[in-house]
Structure 1
Amino acid sequence: MVAVPSLALAGVLSWASGFRLYAALFIAGMLDRFHVVVLPDKLAILSHTPVLVVTGALLVVEFLVDKVPAVDSAWDSVQTFVRVPLGALLAWGVFAHASPEIQAVATIAGGALAAGTHVAKAGTRAMVNASPEPFSNWGLSFSEDGAVLLGIWLALQHPMVFVVLLALFVLLLVWLIPKLWRGLRALWRGFQRLFPRGAERSIDPR
């Protein structure tokens, strides 16, 4: 039987990894450092000073970059290769002392959750960035900052509530991601119509 607190911890770390990886790493490490929570042995390294310095610095970078339209999408593209593997690794770290079967399921589920959250975040931002005004982008970014803090608090204080909400979030992802994909394809087709590839420039004979 998987304990609900462990399930909530693995869930919140993988979920947050998809859009605020460094905040999740830094906050988890700080909470363990000051004995607010006790992280599993495989994740205790997050509370070591060198790791906190690096994750804290990257948290600041991500916080600032995420507020700049277009730059945030470029950052998301690069972070694809970081967020998903670490989301899987963090879930594994929570269940590292469980049976191999549970470890495998946790790793796969953690990676899938991080990937789904990342795709939803990056896709939503790409569509919002099509608008020239920055306020929608800022609103989404600050909402994501708050969501990480709220999610971590819920997972630690009310793990069952968080697990239920996470299950509902997964259902939302299943519904949302295909719509985002269709929206991004429509956006790309519109971009191609504005800037047709291979179009010849008109030359005035005069």
Structure 2
Amino acid sequence: MLAALTGLGLSAAAGLNAYIPVLLVGLIARYSDLVRLPAEFGWLTDGRVLAGLAVLLAAEVVLDKVPVVDSVNDAVQTFVRPAAGGAVFAATDAAGKLDSSTFMHDHPWIGWSLGIVVALIVHATKASVRPVANAGTMGAGAPVLSTVEDVASLVMSVLAILAPIVGLFAVLLLGYAGLRLHRRRRRRRAATRSAPT
């Protein structure tokens, strides 16, 4: 159960920033015993993979803070973030069940699928809010929102690994915030359409 909560938190974090949770899991698995990955996910601890992830993370951190470029980046990340979410969910779920045989252990595609769906929902919310925020702040909100998203991704990743139950509350809080933003956006659209011209 805790492994699934860890996977849920990490995949939600991947929806905000694909590289933070994957890099964190790889580093922790490489340099400590806190996360033990099964053999099929050993590539996550490879030094070259970690270096590549660090470069991609640096690029993401910069690109996501530039108005308009952030929307292009979000379009590209539509494929990357769900894939990262699936990978970290499957890796940590499998890691939590190394010594047991369970339904999800015997059917690893379930972990991949859940991670992809969770990351995609978070990513879609992020990608739909960002253009509205950019338009409303004339681009000034992009670096602020991006920084908040990066910090949230890091905090959620750490909580998912160290305190999965607390991480679950963070995911629920993120979902609630996303739902409120979505409803606010819909109300603004409706008000714009009904306003007299």
Q: TM-score, normalised by structure 2?
A: 0.79
CA RMSD of aligned residues (A): 2.9
Task: State the AA in 2 paired with 1:70.
Answer: V
Equivalents in 1 of 2:188, 2:112: separation in Å?
Answer: 29
Greater RCO (CA < 8 Å, at least 6 residues apart): 2
Query: What is the identity percentage for the equivalent residue pairs of Structure 1 and Structure 2?
Result: 29
Name which of 136, 153, 161 aligns with 1:156: 161
Higher mean displacement: 42-51 or 127-136: 127-136
Residue pairs, 1:48-63, within 5 angstroms: 48-63=46-61
The match for 2:71 among 73, 77, 82 is 73
Superposition deviation, residue 76 in structure 1: 0.5
In 2, distance between residues paired with 1:169 and 1:95? 21
Asked which structure has the greater CA Rg, the reply is: 1
Name the amino acid aligned to 2:154: L
- Cα distance in 1, alignment partners of residues 72 and 87 from structure 2: 24
Distance 1:40 1:99, change over 3 A: farther
Distance 2:107 2:173 in 1: 22
Q: Deviations over 1:153-194 (max 9, x none)?
A: 222232211123324444554x347537747977xx8xxxxx
CA distance, structure 1, for counterparts of residue 33 and residue 153 of structure 2:
17
Q: Distance in 2 between matches of 1:24 and 1:70?
A: 25
Cα 1:170–1:103, aligned 2, differ >3 Å: closer, same or farther? farther
Distance 1:184 1:52 in 2: 43
Structure 2: unaligned runs, 5 residues or longer: none
What corresponds to 1:21 in structure 2?
18
The answer to whether the Cα contact below 8 Å between 2:11 and 2:116 also exists between their aligned partners in 1 is: yes
Q: How does 1:149-188 map to 2 (within 5 A)?
A: 149-170=154-175, 172-173=177-178, 175-176=179-180, 179=183, 182=186
- For residues 37 and 184 of structure 2, the distance between their equivalents in structure 1, rounded to whole angstroms, comes to 36
Tell me how far apart the structure 2 counterparts of residues 20 and 36 of structure 1 sit (CA, whole Å): 25
Q: Is the 8 A contact 2:13 2:154 kept in 1?
A: no
Report how far residue 19 of structure 1 moved.
Answer: 1.8
- Over 3 Å counting, the alpha-carbon distance change for 1:25 and 1:183 in structure 2 is farther
Matched, 1:12 2:17: no
Distance 1:111 1:180, change over 3 A: farther
Structure 1 gap segments, 5+ residues each: 190-206
- Give the Cα–Cα distance (whole angstroms) in 1 for the partners of residues 174 and 37 of structure 2: 25
After TM superposition, which residue ranges in structure 1, 4 or more long, deviate above 4 angstroms? 183-186
Aligned to 1:202: none
Instruction: Report the counterpart of residue 32 of structure 2 in structure 1.
Output: 35
Query: For 1:75-94, what aligned pairs fall within 5 Å after superposition?
Result: 75-94=73-92
The one-letter code matched in structure 1 to 2:127 is: A
Aligned residues: 186
Q: Is the 8 A contact 1:87 1:111 kept in 2?
A: yes
Q: CA deviation at 1:49?
A: 0.6
CA distance in 2, matches of 1:172, 1:81: 23
Secondary structure at the residue paired with 1:68? coil
TM-score (norm 1): 0.76
